[in-house]
Amino acid sequence: MVLLERLRERRTAGDWREFGQRYYGDVAGFMRDCIVWPDGRPWAPYQLEIARELFEHGKEAVRSNRGTGKSATAAGIVEGFALTREALGIGWRVVTTASIWRQLALFLWPEVHKIIRQTRWGSDGGVPRPMLADGSELMNMSIQLKYGRADAIASKEGATIEGGHDEEMLVIFDEAKIIPASIWDSARGMFTSGKAYWLALSTPEQEQGRFFDIFRRARGWDDWHLRHVTLEEALEAGRVSRDWVDEMAAAYDENDPFFRQQVLGEFANYSDTGGIVPLTWIEQANQRWDDWDASGRPGTVTSIGFDVGGGLATGDASVIAVIVDWQTVAELIEIRQAADPHTATMELAGHVAAIANKYGRPVICGDAQGIGNGVVARLIEMGFEAIPFVASYGTTMTDATGIYGFGNWRAAMWWLMREALTPDSGQDIALPAHEGLTGDLTAPRIKRIDSRSRRFVEDKEDVRARLGRSPDCADAVLHGLIGPILARERAAGEQVSYRITDYAQQIGRY
């Protein structure tokens, strides 16, 4: 009997380690194979994708509308991470947090308990050990095993989570939109050693805070993998009912910030002081770029835009944007700080000229205020069709309504880009998912509307002061897309009809 018991223990230990080896790098597979839903419905595809992407990229930020199963996803990941590391004898730690205790006590941790009860325990293809024991291994808001533990921590003081370290770490930020910046900043201390993974999930709110910083690719927060669970995905998976969507649509206008946040999973402001270009429009343009890329990158280079960075003084790079068919940003080329500031402008002129020669010498438009003026002058001297973009120039352009004008080229450039990106504009602007470009496009704000019904956009210097960087990627793109149109209007002396995708026609509803 003793021998049989030892053989059984050895076999069980082997099964336990084999389980860990099988699912260590596949927590999504653990969730799929070992957690059984009572109603028989499977995990939604996006829930398993989130688990897979987290362990591929290390940091995963997820935004969605209400009711998509974010807490269930987090709970499955917590259990899978804990059990697989425990099976291999790896020291592990899980920290779950939110800015209010209620979010953890009433939503996330009850979901953890529910998921554990729905797990297949035993040696029949599930988890080869008994279910976690209540009171010793599974507590109300914690899990404590031999090699690690998972806990709920909620505080407005980030210092309370700075001490978490182990061989492998998992940090869960639930309803991340309301977690104070101090907690985000302190959580970074957990990533100083060992393997660490960070999952942030939330229904979006206003365009502010660390969660929004991640999605707008703000400096210092641009190393996250982003996931937007769309309303269509939630409907298809049966996580959200069409009746609920219809009720919300009947109660709120589709442009109402509450509707956009709760139903569409979009960031939205309750005032007119937010960014000019919504993040979701940029994401749609990213998808169009992916489609263009997959189709073999067809088209002809029609313009090149550039913006001169501050060089060694500010650390900002100069950026060159290559535009195809007046609508697709084929490439963004960043020219880092010049070694010799006295030759920096001529060096940039050389880069722009080389790219223009490669693509048949298309029209070039670049920043001509300050040191950029020298670049444009040199390109003209070399025989290129180079257009100086002067942000302070006046314009007779109006917006799509025909009611509001613009105080200068800069305001017109930004607003016309907004209207070109509007989903129903028909312009099909395609933008690469470039971390700098996304952050730049969501940065500037409307500054004011004057008594002559003219819009003014936040000055570039103000953007730099607020963000700690200059939106050079966006400026290069906008110079290449919008600059030639404004130059045609100035040359004609009156407003011209135009369209980005057809240089001689019209954009939007002008």
Q: In this structure, are strands 363-367 and 386-389 parallel, antiparallel, or unpaired?
A: parallel
Residues 376 and 454 in one domain: yes
Instruction: Give pLDDT, residue 408.
Output: 93
Residues 255 and 301 in one domain: no
DSSP lists the bridge partners of residue 180 as none
Domain housing 314: 279-492
pTM, to two decimals: 0.60
Identify whether 430 is part of a domain: yes
Residues 287 and 225 in one domain: no
Residues 143 and 441: their CA atoms lie apart, in Å, by 43
Instruction: Give pLDDT, residue 495.
Output: 55
What one-letter code names the amino acid at 369?
Answer: Q
User: What CATH number is attached to the domain comprising 295?
Assistant: 3.30.420.240
Identify whether 507 is part of a domain: no
Angle at which helix 2-23 crosses helix 70-87, to 10 degrees, equals 130
Identify whether 215 is part of a domain: yes
Q: Using alpha carbons only, what angle is made at residue 404 by residues 402 and 408, rounded to the nearest 5 degrees?
A: 120
Render pLDDT for 367-413 as a digit per residue (tens, 0 to 9).
Answer: 887 777 889 999 999 999 999 999 999 998 888 878 888 999 999 99
Task: Look at phi and psi of residue 402 and say left if phi exceeds 0, alpha if psi is from -120 to 50, else beta.
Answer: left
Burial of 58 by CB count in 10 Å (0-12 exposed, 13-18 middle, 19+ buried)?
Answer: middle
Residues 61 and 149 in one domain: yes
Residues 243 and 369 in one domain: no
Residues 462 and 330 in one domain: yes
DSSP lists the bridge partners of residue 332 as 321
Identify whether 503 is part of a domain: no
Instruction: Give pLDDT, residue 34.
Output: 95
Residues 78 and 8: their CA atoms lie apart, in Å, by 29
Cβ neighbour number for residue 46 with a 10 Å cutoff: 23
| Residue that is written with structure tokens 């067809």 in the block | 298
What does the block give as tokens for 417?
A: 């880009």
Residues 41 and 74 in one domain: yes
| Residue that is written with structure tokens 């343009």 in the block | 285
Residues 232 and 286 in one domain: no
- Given a contact cutoff of 8 angstroms between Cβ atoms, the answer to whether 109 and 141 are in contact is yes
Task: Give the DSSP letter string of 391-410.
Answer: TT-----B-TTSS-EESSHH
User: What CATH number is attached to the domain comprising 57?
Assistant: 3.40.50.300
Identify whether 425 is part of a domain: yes
Beta strand ranges found along 106-147 (DSSP E): 138-139, 142-144
DSSP lists the bridge partners of residue 386 as 364
Render pLDDT for 134-145 as a digit per residue (tens, 0 to 9).
Answer: 999 999 999 999
Residues 244 and 302 in one domain: no
Instruction: Give pLDDT, residue 46.
Output: 97
- Given a contact cutoff of 8 angstroms between Cβ atoms, the answer to whether 303 and 329 are in contact is no
Task: Look at phi and psi of residue 66 and say left if phi exceeds 0, alpha if psi is from -120 to 50, else beta.
Answer: beta
User: H-type helices in 390-471, by residue range?
Assistant: 409-421, 435-441, 460-467
Burial of 155 by CB count in 10 Å (0-12 exposed, 13-18 middle, 19+ buried)?
Answer: middle
Identify whether 508 is part of a domain: no
Identify whether 267 is part of a domain: no
Low-confidence residues of the chain: pLDDT under 50: 1-4, 6-10, 157, 271-273, 312, 497-510
| CB-based contacts of 461-464 (< 8 A; 24+ apart in sequence) | 464/314
Residues 69 and 156 in one domain: yes
* Count of domains for the chain: 2
Residues 225 and 294 in one domain: no
Residues 145 and 92: their CA atoms lie apart, in Å, by 10
With residue 330 as reference, give the H or E element that holds it.
strand 328-335
What does the block give as tokens for 316?
A: 């900002």
Give the phi and the psi of residue 462 in degrees, each rounded to 5: -70, -40
Identify whether 499 is part of a domain: no
Give the phi and the psi of residue 283 in degrees, each rounded to 5: -65, -35
Residues 118 and 36: their CA atoms lie apart, in Å, by 5
- Given a contact cutoff of 8 angstroms between Cβ atoms, the answer to whether 328 and 289 are in contact is yes
Residues 471 and 205: their CA atoms lie apart, in Å, by 24
Residues 224 and 363 in one domain: no
